[in-house]
Structure 1
Amino acid sequence: MFEFVSSTLIKMKLCVILICAVLHSTEAKTVHRDILVELCSDTEKEAIYGLDGEELWHADFSQGTGVMTLPDFVDPMAYVEGTYEMSVNNLEICKANLAASIKANDNPAEPRVAPQSSIYSKDDVELGSNNTLICFITAFYPPRIGVWWTKNNANVTDGVRFSRFYPIGDGTFNLVSRLSVIPEKGDIYTCTVEHVALDRHLTKTWDVQVAMPNVGPIAFCGVGLGLGLIGVIAGIVFLIKGRNFSSESD
């Protein structure tokens, strides 16, 4: 009887906990941000759909089709048929609105936001082993930018790749450039960025640095062992002197 009552009480407590969890979850609010970016000019056009800063779909105007850019591990989804055609029509509307807006506002200056950049290796550096350098360029507008690489002051074009422009919630963009490398001691790489919002080119430098083994613990143990041996030797000397002194006293 006691075991039955105890089991029932446990089940009742679990039931209360589950109910509270459900009630708590219904009160939680999650905010997501949809992204639609349509860019147009006399020479450029872009259409991107995204969610929470991640690109979901873009229009490939050179191939005449829409491209899903979700990674393989997410739940599959697809945009409705006609999304690409709608993007084409929207860009024509964008051009018409842009021309009217420029005329109405007496050709205002284009907004400009200067980029920031950083350069780092994808993997830990091992001399003579394949690696990838990443130049991360962030928070710039307009999405027109020049990027080039050098190795030991010589321009490099082989093994260079570029991502698409990634829109950020504040209206600026990110870009990633990658360079395939085989690091050797003494090599120096640079990633240089050119943008209309910069007074001068923005250059970041990366040189080959291989992490050396940590000699601190080894040195500490060596010093400790040396001091220990000195202490042992000193003890032996004092012991011998003590015995000699006792013998002379006798």
Structure 2
Amino acid sequence: MASKFLCFTLLFINICTADGYELYSSTRCLFNSTELKDIEFIRSYYYNRMELIRFDSDVGKYVGYTEFGVKNAEMWNNDPGQLAAMRAQKETYCQYNIGIWYANVLSKSVKPSVRLHSTMAPGCHHPAMLVCSVYDFYPKWIKVSWVRNGQEITSDITSTEEFANGDWLYQVHSHLEYMPRSGEKISCVVEHASLEKPLIINWVPPMPETERLIIVGAVGLILGLILFLAGVIYRRKSGDTSLACRFSEKQAEDWSKDAAALSLWRPQKEMFFKPGSELCFTNVLPKSGLMLVPSS
């Protein structure tokens, strides 16, 4: 009978696809664990999106949903071999593949990253809104809640559904309408399978603009003072040499403009460095410590 079913399917497709019709089947495994008792095997047969026949392992036989499906379900249910093969799929197909999924995917988890920030709430009487954004976690199921001064907040909260990033990871965003009050403590609490204990992110209100400007100005003043002191110290260490150089250059410039000084110093070359003159050597080195090499 199984071979007749295969032939019937192929014949039906060959006849109907020429006019754009389609016959197809869908196999599903519904499960809560890897235990056989927690698994349900379902195979459905469709014609143009209309379900004709279904085998459900919890029912144990075929069920037809149209006149044509009822007739075929009755025929297949009268075949013990066909029923035995389908009933075995729960163990041979579902339980085997579910074990692979649990070992490689379902038992894995990725810890979420959380960002808590404030934003303006357009069209709302509240001045701002707190947003707790949870990114890149797996599996999908997660709980995000709010706590004020140790008490869970149940009102003024809106949350998005968990939606996929496209890389097996998920994200979710929770919004809390926020009216600042002095001394209160607000926290975002995230509970997920990847966390040993709930992750608590405390909201730290931003500093007022005036205080922020004061701190920025004070930091700038301190930094400027440090740079000024460093410059003074550097000038002290290298200032003497620089001043001496500038003094020598200024003195040389003044002397160069003094005609009397120039007339006094220009003859010194001839008098002081005249060949054979002992004046050069007596003013530089002792005669006994100098050996002359005669010129050729």
TM-score with structure 2 setting the length = 0.37
The structure carrying a bigger helix percent of its residues is 2
TM-score with structure 1 setting the length = 0.43
